[in-house]
Amino acid sequence: MHALDIRFVLVGTQHPGNIGAVARAMKNMALERLVLVRPREFPHAEATARASGAGDVLAAARVVGRLDAAIGDCGLVIATTAREREHNHRVIDVRDAAQRIVREAATGPVAVLFGGERAGLSNEEIDAAHVLARIPANPAYTSLNIAMAAQLIAYEIHRARGARVAAAPGAVPLATVSEMARFFEHLELVLGEIGFRDRTVSGTNLQQRLRRLFQRAEMDQNEVNILRGVLAAVQGRRKVAGSKCPTGKSR
């Protein structure tokens, strides 16, 4: 199969054996890009033993200290969950998610996030994702081992690749995580310049709400450039207005 940049990103993995088991699950399904964010122990003999034939995937694994270092150049970012619903986030079935992953990987890197064994992904880490992929399970016991979750998602990706899910002709790649971060910084700056304040009850979560709104929109690179152009135009108009005296004459 043609290699696509589909990354399995494990965040805060505590047990090295799980890292090896994920590497094995990936190789079973022809995936090879593994990124580890703040693993508790790696490299480790137990990880090597559990990889069982997938030592090449393990050896090529990239270790980073921050999530943005793992996904900064990615377009689509999908986080895993066993829950059917998540406040302020769109949740889709894992099979639908796999088709999206394969389609978007044809135009740029895609990341699938897996949380640590104890607490899963933090709210901040979930906010980095465009959408959450739900793995259907027994409602009375939805918790899956990280290696099991990785195997199920890898299998669905393998099926989707076999079905040849193609990107639309001339499709523009999604904006990368780094491009979105620059957009959010620009937006926050302009909102401050025009005096727009959070008017919600708490008055503290405007930026988080806006981030989730734009993440759900899954903007492509052209759309982000358009919005940044709008923001720059707002800044330009303010500078012109600021150069006038109250009477309307130039200073």
| pLDDT tens-digit readout, 67-109 | 999 999 999 999 998 666 666 788 999 999 999 999 999 999 9
pLDDT at 248 over 60: no
Q: Which residue would you say has higher pLDDT here, 200 or 227? A: 227
pLDDT, position 168: 63
| Maximum alpha-carbon separation in the chain | 78
* Residue 246 confidence class, pLDDT cut points 50, 70, 90: low
Mean pLDDT value across residues 126-147:
91
Instruction: Tell me the C-alpha distance between 251 and 245, whole Å.
Output: 6
Domains present along the chain, CATH in parentheses: 6-162 (3.40.1280.10), 177-242 (1.10.8.590)
The sheet carrying 62-64 orders its strands as 62-64, 33-37, 6-11, 110-114, 77-81, 131-134, 91-93
Instruction: Tell me the C-alpha distance between 221 and 41, whole Å.
Output: 37
Instruction: Tell me the C-alpha distance between 111 and 9, whole Å.
Output: 7
Out of 3-12, 37-46, 177-186, 200-209, which region has the weakest mean confidence (pLDDT)? 200-209
The radius of gyration computed from the CA coordinates of the chain, to the nearest angstrom, equals: 21
Torsion sign (Cα): 241, 243, 246, 247: negative
pLDDT, position 55: 96
Q: Where are the beta strands (DSSP E) in 157-230?
A: none
* Residue 251 confidence class, pLDDT cut points 50, 70, 90: very low
pLDDT at 2 over 70: no
- Under DSSP, the state recorded for 202 is S
Residue with tokens 């937006």: 187
Which residues does 106 contact at the CB level (< 8 Å), separation at least 6?
Answer: 4, 166, 167, 171
pLDDT at 166 over 60: no
Q: Is the pTM of this model over 0.85?
A: no
